[in-house]
A and B are shown apart, each in its own frame.
Chain A
Amino acid sequence: MKYIKEERIKIDKSKITKLAAYHDPCNYGRKAQMLFGHGYFQEPRWIMDQCAEEWVDLYPMEMNQTCCGGGGGTLTTGNDEERVYYGRKKIDQIKASGAEMIVVPCHSCHGQLNNIKKEHGFEELEVKYLWEIVADALILK
């Protein structure tokens, strides 16, 4: 955020052409709010505003955001059948938003969404890190 505010980097919004949606990871949002009294809900949305002409929120969002299903170490416990199954709600939620790209700032969400999208009939969904869309939209000298 600092780089963008201080204009140390410049962003070209037109570089992001697909309609993006933002997903709140449980640990950055809801759990941070409960544990530390501050959930990172507004900061990533401000970055989304800087990087894309248009983007959408999922419903529900922020404190009520739907879990991707890949948290709590479930990507590594070997309970894969369960993990893929409960990711269906997340994929349904993204489909309902009309987005073609989902932006996340969490490694677990990123891994989970890429892993389950085919199973739930959304193979074309593009999964991006929040810092990846910033890098993609950079104006380079």
Chain B
Amino acid sequence: MTEADKRVNLDQLDHDSCRSWDYSQDFCVTCGICSSMCPVSGIDDFDPRKLVRMISLGMENEAVDSRWPWICTMCGKCEASCPMEIKISSIVRKIRSLRERDEVPGILHKGLETALKTGNNLGLPKEDFEFILEDVAEEIAEEPSFENFTVEIDKKGANILTTIHNKLVNTHTDDLKHWWKIFHAAGEDWTVPSENWEGTNWGLFTGDDEAMKKMSGRIVDHMKNLGAKNLLWPE
């Protein structure tokens, strides 16, 4: 593609194409405060003001095809500083949602797909998950003051049910121990579900509301089925 081909024909812009987006994008006064606040400004020529203007001008396809929404960290500094209260983070997420699912970069959609299918981003089988938890619990029980420590999986009626971040049963198992030790010291009555324990919800990042609902719904189901009173969801 030559530089000339990449140019946008301003006469053919469809200003109405994003009219239904209610993020106040048309209120942009192009002040540039968002761009000054953004940690990613300047990378790959990105800055949030450009993206807001693209949506206001109806350049939906260009925005969806662009890398920009994916290098944004969705930190929200742009939005917090915008004098016109434009929902810039929501614009980014909406653009992400319009990307073909198999074109979502990296492992974001693949991990989510695995989670929807298997209950966790890793596709870790129930037996392996339980083995890892019990192994870590045994390690804790070897430490002084934790002699009687155990992890009770799928316990009914516990005061706290906790979800698990997939990295804690993958490469960072030692980081399971902090909360567990606090529970032990506080004499807490707690449990972990054996299935659908995934605490991350990558639909937040890929703009997939349906997937988010499904992942959250599973946790609601646990609370009901196991009769847990409180939820600890640190992800």
Contact = CB atoms under 8 A, between A and B. Distances in A.
Interface in A57-90: 63-64, 66-67, 69-74, 76-79, 82, 85-86, 89
A30 interface: yes
Given A73-B205, A132-B175, A138 B75 contact: no
Contacts of B177: 135
Interface of A: 3, 8-9, 26, 30-31, 33-34, 63-64, 66-67, 69-74, 76-79, 82, 85-86, 89, 105, 107, 111, 129, 131-132, 134-136, 138, 140-141
A34 B77 CA distance: 11
Contacts of A79: 67, 70-71, 105-106
A131 B205 contact: no
Contact of B74 (A8, A72, A131): A72
Interface string B40-52: 1001100000000
15 contacts: A8-B187, A30-B76, A64-B77, A64-B80, A67-B77, A72-B72, A72-B92, A72-B205, A76-B107, A77-B70, A77-B105, A79-B70, A86-B39, A107-B235, A140-B146
Interface residues of B, number: 44
B79 interface: yes
B75 A72 contact: yes
Contact of B186 (A9, A67, A70): A9
Contacts of B80: 30, 33-34, 63-64
Contact of A31 (B76, B111, B178, B187): B76
Nearest to A129: B178
Given A3-B182, A135-B177, A135-B178, A107 B77 contact: no
Given A31-B76, A86-B39, A138-B185, A73 B108 contact: yes
Contact of A134 (B92, B106, B182): B182
Given A79-B105, A82-B43, A82-B44, A34 B76 contact: yes
A89 B175 CA distance: 26
B89 interface: yes
A74 B73 contact: yes
Contacts of B44: 82
Contacts of B43: 82, 85-86
A63 B87 CA distance: 16
Given A76-B106, A79-B67, A67 B185 contact: no
Contacts of B167: 107, 111
A10 to B, nearest CB: 8
Nearest to B44: A82
Nearest to B171: A111
Contacts of B234: 105, 107, 131
